[in-house]
């Protein structure tokens, strides 16, 4: 499968250049989700605000923390082959990073969505120029009687 390439050693810089297109760095938000291409993808709540790595290879997307896979997703692409149309399958892995506090009830796919589509960006509304208000005098000068 690899042919002549199986015996060639690569430097870390070369590997970084090769895999740069499929490796993306993100920071998990306060609930443990990574934001990627207008989607929120669950990593791990116990790792909130920690850096995570998103690996994208074909239709498989994996969220990792320190080389430990947290979750894996199957993605479907829009016709441009860049943006995601849907994330039909999601799978969480058992990791040592789980929260020690247990859940009050077992969450299933109807109660807890591991992948959420974010709303599209709304175009900014142009501000209408308001006319400058006219400052009226506070006190009117009394008419001066002429004699």
Which pLDDT score is estimated for 121?
86
The pLDDT of residue 82? 87
Q: Where are the domains of the chain?
A: 23-116
- SS3 assignment for the chain: CCHHHHHCCCCHHHHHHHHCCCEEEEECCCCCEEEECCEEEECCHHHCCCEEEEEEECCEEEEEECCEEEEEEEEEECCCCCCEEEEEEEEECCCCCCCCCCCCCCCCCCCCCCEEECCCCCCCCCCCCCCCCCCCCCCCCCCCCCC
CA contacts within 13 A on the Cβ side of 139: 2
**pLDDT, one tens digit for every residue, the chain (147 residues):** 455 556 678 888 777 667 766 889 999 999 999 999 999 999 999 999 999 999 998 899 999 999 899 999 999 999 998 889 999 999 999 999 887 777 676 766 666 789 999 998 888 888 888 888 888 777 777 777 676
Q: Is the pTM of this model over 0.85?
A: no
């Amino acid at each position: 499968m690899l042919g002549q390439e199986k015996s060639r050693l690569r430097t870390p810089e070369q590997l970084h250049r090769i895999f740069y297109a499929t490796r993306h760095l993100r920071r998990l938000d306060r609930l443990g989700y990574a934001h990627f291409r207008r989607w929120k993808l669950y990593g791990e709540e116990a790792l909130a605000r920690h850096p995570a790595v998103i690996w994208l290879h074909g239709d498989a997307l994996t969220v990792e923390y320190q080389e430990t896979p947290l979750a894996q997703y199957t993605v479907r692409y829009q016709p441009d082959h860049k943006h995601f149309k849907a994330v039909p399958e999601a799978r969480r892995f058992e990791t040592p990073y789980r929260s020690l506090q247990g859940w009050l009830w077992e969450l299933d796919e109807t109660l807890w969505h591991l992948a959420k589509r974010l709303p599209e960006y709304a175009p900014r509304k142009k501000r209408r120029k308001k006319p400058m208000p006219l400052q009226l005098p506070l006190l009117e000068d009394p008419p001066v009687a002429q004699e």
